[in-house]
Structure 1
């Protein structure tokens, strides 16, 4: 299966986070398995938030903004990934609300020029005790505003 991937420079917003596709991420046809894209995007977000001081260390109450749940996930597969190796995930925020956010992503070549898949994911910040929506902290919102797409 051959397909021409559209190429374009990475947009000047958000962050490009390196990820690695391993041989065992490929399916029987030698393509990156469709379920691996969201996992790799999740790992990229995890690395970005961890780098910014947000993360989960076993205590949901202490996790603060890292205590959140996925409400919606949409992925469009543009061109198949056919080899293991170094890639990137381009991440940004589409919307930053009081208790929720929508982020955009592109699974792309390491330089951000080729897009293999793109999509959005909606997250809701949760109160660890009640599992009800809770507001993002101001520290989190400040970082989020830096990632907003113009």
Structure 2
């Protein structure tokens, strides 16, 4: 396959997080395996929030805003990734609610100009004791507002 990936607009919101595709991430046809995209997006998301002080260190009760669960994940593939190397994940928030959020992402070239896949994921903040929805902290919400897409 030699399909041209669509060009992305200039990065004016969110964050571009570098990721690496390794040779063993490719399938038998030499394409990035479809199951690797969510994994690479998750790693980028984790890095972004760790940079903002939100991290899970083994204790759900102490995890605070890191105690959350995926409610929905959607992805569409636009062009094949055919080589190992440096790429990026562009992350942003489409919605920041009281107990949930929706973030958008693009799996793209390292400079963000070429899009290979795009999607969204819905997260729900959980109370560690009850596993019921719980509000995000004000610190998390302040950090999240910095990631909101302007037209969201």
Normalised-by-shorter TM-score class: over 0.9
Q: Distance between the aligned counterparts of 2:115 and 2:30, measured in 1?
A: 18
Q: Secondary structure at the match of 1:121?
A: strand
Q: Distance between the aligned counterparts of 1:28 and 1:10, measured in 2?
A: 34
Q: Distance between the aligned counterparts of 2:29 and 2:50, measured in 1?
A: 34
Matched with 1:139 is 139
Q: Distance between the aligned counterparts of 2:89 and 2:10, measured in 1?
A: 11
| Structure 2 residues without counterparts, runs of 5 or longer | none
Once the two structures are superposed, the pairs formed by residues 50-69 of structure 1 within 5 Å of their partners are 50-69=50-69
State the shift of 1:5 in Å.
1.2
State the shift of 1:9 in Å.
3.7
Matched with 1:127 is 127
State the shift of 1:10 in Å.
3.3
Q: Which ranges of 4 or more aligned residues in structure 1 deviate by more than 6 Å? A: none
Q: Distance between the aligned counterparts of 1:10 and 1:46, measured in 2?
A: 24
| Structure 1 residues without counterparts, runs of 5 or longer | none
Matched with 2:83 is 83
State the shift of 1:7 in Å.
1.5
State the shift of 1:8 in Å.
2.9
Matched with 2:72 is 72
Matched with 2:22 is 22
Q: Secondary structure at the match of 1:147?
A: coil
Q: Give the alignment's TM-score, normalised by structure 1.
A: 0.98
Q: Distance between the aligned counterparts of 2:16 and 2:100, measured in 1?
A: 22
Q: Distance between the aligned counterparts of 2:38 and 2:99, measured in 1?
A: 22
Q: Distance between the aligned counterparts of 2:106 and 2:64, measured in 1?
A: 27
RMSD, matched Cα: 0.6
State the shift of 1:92 in Å.
0.1
State the shift of 1:108 in Å.
0.2
Q: Distance between the aligned counterparts of 2:14 and 2:69, measured in 1?
A: 21
Query: Once structures 1 and 2 are overlaid, which stretch shifts more, 2-11 or 88-97?
Result: 2-11
Q: Give the alignment's TM-score, normalised by structure 2.
A: 0.97
Aligned length: 150
